[in-house]
Amino acid sequence: MEVERVQAIVSSSLTKENIPEEFIRPEDEQPAITTFHGPIPDIPVIDFSHPDQADIVRSMANASRDWGIFQVVNHGIPLDLIQRLQMVGKQFFDLPQEEKEVYANTPGAPSLEGYGSKLARDVNRKKNWVDHLFHRIWPPNCINYQFWPKNPPSYREVNEDYAQEMRKLVDTLLKWLSMGLGFEENVLKQGAGGEEIEYLMKINYYPPCPRPDLTLGVPSHTDISLMTVLVPNEVPGLQVFKDGHWIEAEYIPGALIIHIGDQIEILSNGKYKAVQHRTTVDKEKTRMSWPVFVEPPAEYVVGPLPQFVDPQDPPKYKSKKYKDYRYCKLNKLPQ
């Protein structure tokens, strides 16, 4: 095995009290020092069962301007499907290490898909306390089933069912976010690729860590995607940077967490903000999350839409192919 996985490191006897040096973050990133513990505002929670759609649209727009993140309850995705999604994901990570390695990604490959431990280049050569599995779930012509676990046997069916529900939800989110800016409901969807928009599933697996005060599951970042729809488990860890502080996201059973990503910020010319966030880990418990990254097609050119640009508000971002934006971001190159 060429790459040592975090899950395998935890299984060794070398990490009962300490963690390897390459996982220890600089002091200005360590969660014990930087997490805010005073009175904090709550991340907005939006109830999709509210009878007044205009109120939902307003709330989403305000949250996307001020926070770049919100939680959604009564979203319409069956709770039992979410539970099955979590179950098959956990069952995959419970497999023997050599069985998981069958799905390993190739370091340096253009695709993110597969089982791995490293995503973006880290300028400090630090490692993140996380293993992950990436694979596309929509559209069908983009799916590489070689990266979908065959074990557990229900993995494919559950993820295909979830993809259908996710598409319906994302259509609603994009529609209401467009309306929240005062434009036609299809503006953001068409600006990001329309029916060719891609859905990339990621399972994050953050094993227990003997020194959670010193490391991070994922360091501070904004998502490259259009938006991200995330299912967490019950172990806290998502933190949002707001008003100069790192604050913990409350776990709400059954809720979905919606991140505004870079591409919506670009399309809206900065009217909606991509959320700066990071992930901490737990000393005793495994944290897992299931984000779906909603992305433009690789060759699609994304830039500020004409509706959001005028002489008083010129374009704040370059227009470029999504694949080029992603490459620059992952390799810490200027856009």
- pLDDT, tens digit (0-9, with 9 covering 90-100), for 180-214: 999 999 999 999 999 999 999 999 999 999 999 99
Position 1 confidence tier, pLDDT thresholds 50, 70, 90? very low
Rounded to the nearest integer, the mean pLDDT of the chain is: 93
The answer to whether 218 touches 130, Cβ cutoff 8 Å, is yes
- Classify residue 335 by burial, with Cβ atoms within 10 Å: 0-12, 13-18, 19+: exposed
Higher pLDDT among residues 13 and 270, named by residue: 270
On the question of a cis peptide bond just before residue 26, with omega within 30 degrees of 0, the verdict is: no
Contact 115, 95 (CB under 8 A): no
At 313, the pLDDT band (50, 70, 90 cuts) reads very high
Query: Sorting pLDDT into bands at 50, 70 and 90, what band is 16?
Result: low
Q: What is the DSSP letter of 312?
A: T
Say whether pLDDT at 38 is over 80.
Answer: no
Least confident interval from 32-41, 46-55, 181-190, 236-245 = 32-41
pLDDT at 40: 74
Share of the chain above pLDDT 90, in %: 83
> 231: exposed, middle or buried (C-beta count within 10 Å: 0-12, 13-18, 19+)?
buried
Rg (CA), the chain: 19
The single-letter code of the amino acid at 270 is G
132 classed as catalytic: no
Please confirm, yes or no, whether 126 is among the known catalytic residues. Answer: no
Mean pLDDT within 43-68:
97
Candidate list 90, 221, 320, 321, residue with the active-site label? 221
Active site residue 223: yes
Domain boundaries, the chain: 6-295
Is there a contact between 136 and 225 (Cβ–Cβ < 8 Å)? Answer: no
Q: Alpha-carbon distance 281 to 261, whole Å?
A: 23
Burial (0-12, 13-18, 19+ Cβ within 10 Å), 118 = middle
Amino acid at 90: K
pLDDT, tens digit (0-9, with 9 covering 90-100), for 106-139? 776 777 899 998 765 566 788 999 999 999 999 9
| CATH homologous superfamily, domain 6-295 | B-lactam Antibiotic, Isopenicillin N Synthase; Chain (2.60.120.330)
Residue 298 burial (C-beta neighbours within 10 Å; 0-12, 13-18, 19+): middle
Residue 131 among the catalytic residues: no
Phi, psi of 87 (to 5 degrees): -65, -50
Q: Which of 100, 202, 242, 259 is catalytic?
A: 202
Phi, psi of 288 (to 5 degrees): -135, 155
pTM: 0.95
When mean pLDDT is compared across 23-32, 90-99, 108-117, 170-179, the lowest value belongs to 108-117
Q: 320 falls in which pLDDT band (50, 70, 90)? A: very high
Distance CA 256, CA 291 (A): 10
| Candidate list 131, 135, 223, 271, residue with the active-site label | 223
In the chain, the amino acid numbered 241 is F
287-295 vs 218-221, strand pairing mode:
unpaired
- What's the CA gap between 177 and 69, in Å, rounded? 12
